[in-house]
Structure 1
Amino acid sequence: MPLLEIRNLSVDFATASGRFRAVDGVDVTVEPGDLMAIVGESGSGKSVSMLALMGLLPWTATVTADKMEFDGQDLRSLSARAKRQIIGRDISMIFQEPMSSLNPCFTVGFQIKESLKLHTSLDRRQRQDRAVELLELVGIPDPAKRLNAFPHQLSGGMSQRAMIAIALACQPKLLIADEPTTALDVTIQAQILELLTGLQQTAGMAMILITHDMGVVAETVRRVSVQYAGQKVEEQPVEDLFDDPHHPYTAALLAALPERATGKHLPTIKGVVPGQFDRPQGCLFSPRCAFADERCRTIVPPRQPQALGQALCHYPLIDGVPQKSQEVTA
C-alpha cells in the first residue's frame, strides 16, 4: 500500500479578477522509503501542491482532490485536530528560506522542543536530550551550546541544518524538502543534500525533494515528476528520464543543463510559464514548444500510458523525435 496517494489534486486561489488555478489535476504516489523529486520552473505549482497536503495554504485557496490518503487515512475527512496529529509528526516539511521560516524571537532549542512537546510524551529532560541529539545528528558543532542560539546568530547553512533538525524531531514517515539548498553556496548545498539523503536512508523514511535543479535530481533521487504551469506533464525513473524524456518540456529542461550544451551558447526555453491571464487554449506548453502545431494550440492533450512516462502531450518524444504519426490514447 502506498504511503501517500493523491489523485486529481487541484488548488484554486481567489483573486480580485476571478479564480486562478495554480495546481491542476496533479497525481502523487509515494511508497514507504521512496525518494522522489518534483521538478519544474518557478510558477509550476511544485510548492503549492505540497503545501496543500500540509494544510498550510492561505484562506484564499480552495483545495480539491478525488483522493488524498496518507498511511491508510483519508486526509480529506479528518478533523483539524486529527490532522494536526499527523502533520508535523508523520509528515514533516523543510521550507525554502530557513531565515524566514525560523521564528527570530525564540532560540533554536525552544523551536525544536516545541515540536517534541506537541507530538511526543517526552518529559522536559528527555526533550532537552533529544534536541541535543538532533543538532548533533545534522552536524551542528557544540550542539548543547547552539540550542541557546537565536536564528540570527547562525549562518545560512547552520540555519538550514536547524530546520532539518526540527523536521526530523518526531521521526516522520514522509519528509518534504522544498528547495532545501536555496540561497546556500555550492559547497554547503552539497553538504545539505548529502545530509538529507544519508538521513533518509538511515531512518528509512520517504522523501519528496522539490527543486528546479536537474543536476541535484540526477545525483539524489530515484523517480522524477515534472510539473509545468500546475500540471504534471511527465513521470519516470530518474535514469529513464535523463536518457529518453518523453515530454518536450522535460527535454528542453535537460537540454539547458550546462554539461549537455554543445555550442557556444547555453540553450534556453523561450517565453515564461503562463499565469492567470495568458493561458493558452490547448497544451499549456504550446507557446514555447518547438514541436507544437495547430492541434497542440487548440486541443487539450491526452495523458499517455505509463510506457511513455504518462507524458501529457499530443506527440510524445521517443529518442528525441515527436511521434506525430502515432495515434495517441486519451
Structure 2
Amino acid sequence: MPLLEIRNLTVEFTTAAGPFRAVDGVDATVDQGDVLAIVGESGSGKSVSMLAMMGLLPWTATITADRMSFDGRDLRNLGARERRKVIGRDMAMIFQEPMSSLNPCFTVGFQIKEALRQHLDLSRAERHTRALELLDLVGIPDPETRLKAFPHQLSGGMSQRVMIAMALSCNPRLLIADEPTTALDVTIQAQILDLLSDLQRDTGMALILITHDMGVVAETAQRVQVQYAGQKVEEQPVRSLFQSPHHPYTAALLSALPERATERRLPTIPGVVPGQFDRPQGCLFSPRCAFADDTCRKVDPPVQGEDMGFARCHYPIATPAKEATS
C-alpha cells in the first residue's frame, strides 16, 4: 500500500472575477522511502496541490478528489482535531520562504519546542534536549545560543535549516520540501540539498521535492512528476525522463537547460502558463507547443500509458529506436 495516494485532485479558488481552477485532476503516489520531484513553471499548481493535501489552503479553496489517503487514512474526511494529529508529526512541510514562515515574535527555540509540545509527550527538559539535537542535526553551530535567537538574527541559509529542523522534529514519515533552496546562494543551495538527501537516506522517510530547477531534480530525485497549468503532463523515473521525455513541454524544459544548449542563444518556451482568463480549449500547452494542430487546440488530450511516461498528449514523443532496443 502506498504511503501517499492522490487521485483526481482538483482545487478551485473563488475569486471576485469567478472561479479559478489551480489544480486540475492531478494524481500522485509516494511509497515509503521514495523521493518524488514535482517540477514545472510558476503557476503549475505544484505547491497548491500539496497544500490542499495537507489541509492548509484558505476557505476560498474548494478541494475535491476521488482518493486522497496517507498511510491508509482518508484525508478527505479528517476533522480538524484529527488532521492536527497527522500534520506536523507524520507529515511535515518545509515552506518556500523561511523568513516569512518563521514567526518573528518568538525565538527559534520556542518555535521548535512548540512543535514538540503539540505532538510528543516530552517534558520541558526533554524538549530542550531534542531541540539542541535537531539544530545540531541540520548543521547549525552553537545550537544553545541559536535557540535564543529570533528569526531576524539568522541568515537565509540558517533560517532554512531551522525550518528543516522544525519539520523533522517529530520524525515524519513524509517530508514535503517546497522550493527549499529559493533565494539562497549557490553554496548554501548545495548544502541544503545534501542535507535533505542525507536525512532522507538515514531516516528512510519519503520526500516530495517541489522545484523548477531540473539540476536539483537530477541530483536528488528518483521519480519526476511534471505539471503544467494545474495538470500532471508526465511522470517517469529521473534517468528515463532526462534521456527520453515524451511530452513536448518536458522536452522544452530540458532543452532550455544551459548544459544542453547546442547554440549560442539559449532555447526558451514562448508564451506563459495560462491563467484564469486565457485558459485554452483542448491541450493547455497547445498555444506554446511547436507540434500542436487543430486536434490539440480543440480536444482534451488523453493520458498515455506507462511506456509513454503517462504523457497527457495527443502526439507524445516516441523513444528513439536506438534507445528502445538498447
Shorter-chain TM-score range: over 0.9
Is 1:280 aligned to 2:270, yes or no?
A: no
Structure 1 segments unaligned to the other structure (5+ residues):
322-330
Partner of residue 133, structure 1:
133
Is 1:245–1:320's contact at 8 Å kept on the other side of the alignment? Answer: no
- Secondary structure of the corresponding residue to residue 59 of structure 2: coil
What TM-score results when the alignment is normalised by the length of structure 2? 0.98
Is 1:31 aligned to 2:31, yes or no?
A: yes
Amino acid at match of 2:96: Q
- Matched residues in 2 for 1:154 and 1:60: separation? 34
Structure 2 segments unaligned to the other structure (5+ residues):
322-326
- Matched residues in 2 for 1:198 and 1:124: separation? 29
Partner of residue 103, structure 1:
103
Amino acid at match of 2:42: S
1:167-221 per-residue CA deviation (whole Å, 9 max, x = no partner) reads 0000000000000000000000000000001000001000000000001100110
Partner of residue 244, structure 2:
244
- Matched residues in 1 for 2:174 and 2:320: separation? 35
Matches for 1:139-178 after TM superposition, within 5 Å:
139-178=139-178
- Matched residues in 2 for 1:320 and 1:88: separation? 45
Partner of residue 9, structure 2:
9
Partner of residue 216, structure 2:
216
Matches for 1:1-330 after TM superposition, within 5 Å:
1-319=1-319
- Matched residues in 2 for 1:9 and 1:249: separation? 21
Amino acid at match of 1:200: Q
Displacement after TM superposition at 1:256 (Å): 0.2
CA RMSD of aligned residues (A): 0.8
- Secondary structure of the corresponding residue to residue 181 of structure 1: coil
Displacement after TM superposition at 1:45 (Å): 0.2
- Matched residues in 1 for 2:54 and 2:151: separation? 24
What TM-score results when the alignment is normalised by the length of structure 1? 0.96
1:232-269 per-residue CA deviation (whole Å, 9 max, x = no partner) reads 00000000000000000000000000000011100000
- Matched residues in 1 for 2:62 and 2:201: separation? 35
Displacement after TM superposition at 1:319 (Å): 3.7
Amino acid at match of 1:150: F
Displacement after TM superposition at 1:320 (Å): 7.0
Amino acid at match of 1:24: D
- Secondary structure of the corresponding residue to residue 76 of structure 2: coil
* Count of residue pairs brought into register by the alignment: 321
